[in-house]
Amino acid sequence: MEASASGPWADANRRDATAMVRQIHVVGAVIISGCNVLCVQRGPDGPLPLMWEFPGGKIEAGETPQAALKREIYEELLCEVAVGDEVTTTSYKYEFGVVHLTTFYCELVHGSPQLVEHAALKWSDARELRSLEWAPADIPAIEIIMQRLGPAQTSN
């Protein structure tokens, strides 16, 4: 007799499998200059090779998301930002775990972004964000940013 794939035991097994998936909490900076948005490209090695993303990284134990974002931007781009309003929080399940990404609007307050960890960086017109190959967790934020910045650009 075969084991059934439904019922309370199957539900419990699915919950247990989900609990064992690595949960990764990260932050991303939506740095805007005029109508342009700073985009960074991941390196060719490691997860999500050469995909575009918002700069940022993991939240360390005891850090607020805002503090983590300021630290990550300094480490990755050698500049300082003021962290503003939250854009959105999204979750995306990758092979290596579930990424919970919270993005914030940010303003450069000191320095200018420099490549340290990424393969490339570019200031992209908000209307052209979809033309880049983005990491899937970043895509919901792109849609929100385009709604916020895109209409203002087309009316000028």
CATH fold for the domain made of 21-154: Nucleoside Triphosphate Pyrophosphohydrolase (3.90.79)
Task: List, for residues 81-129, the tens digit of each pLDDT value.
Answer: 999 999 999 999 999 999 999 999 999 999 999 999 999 999 999 989 9
**∠ at Cα 40 (146, 22), nearest 5°?**
95
**∠ at Cα 37 (42, 84), nearest 5°?**
105
Q: Tokens at residue 52, please?
A: 């575009």
Global pTM value = 0.82
pLDDT for 18: 54
The single residue listed with the structure tokens 């960074």 is 40
